[in-house]
Structure 1
Amino acid sequence: MSRMITVHLRYEIDADKIAEFREYGRRWIRLVDRLGGTHHGYFLPSEGDSDEAFALFTFPSLADYERYRLASTDDPECVEAYRYAVETKCIRRYERRFLAPVFE
């Protein structure tokens, strides 16, 4: 039995480039959904730390996530979204965690 997996990303972003990071997030929400996942959104700074953002997305299984990762390396829109982040330097670093979600 495969278990659903949620990916939690914690980003350290450039606080002066929140608009660029927002655009990066908008691109990836659609791409994750198109490549088999369910994106739960990006969460930008509001109060508190101004350089920390988060994202959550779920795949039916770890194997599905791995297929997404592989597909995203060759997908032109994914490559372009990654290039955008590199060029704008809106992301300083990120951490990825895998979680087992509990839904009703």
Structure 2
Amino acid sequence: MSDDDSGGRENLRMPDDDEVFAEVTNMLGANRVAVRCADGTERTARIPGRMQKRIWIREGDIVLVEPWDWQDEKADVTWRYEKAEADQLREEGHIQ
């Protein structure tokens, strides 16, 4: 067991007022993914250019999305959690 696996709580990025937790359910191509948000809404989320080459997003990943004001079924991905971070969010009851 390495030092960073000692069970200590990491400070995770939490959603801002206009962001919600979501799980990636389907890769749609063209920098878009289908997500199931914590508020129960299925949305099509866009992966912004600053994330496309640096962060790989796969089905089952937990992400933060920012729903569009003018079109509720669409959103932008703002953050992706690592697997260990997603597990910690589940343990703390933030997501199912």
Task: With the length of structure 2 as denominator, give the TM-score of the two structures.
Answer: 0.26
More strand by share: 2
More helix by share: 1
Task: With the length of structure 1 as denominator, give the TM-score of the two structures.
Answer: 0.25
Larger RCO, structure (CA 8 Å, separation 6 or more): 1
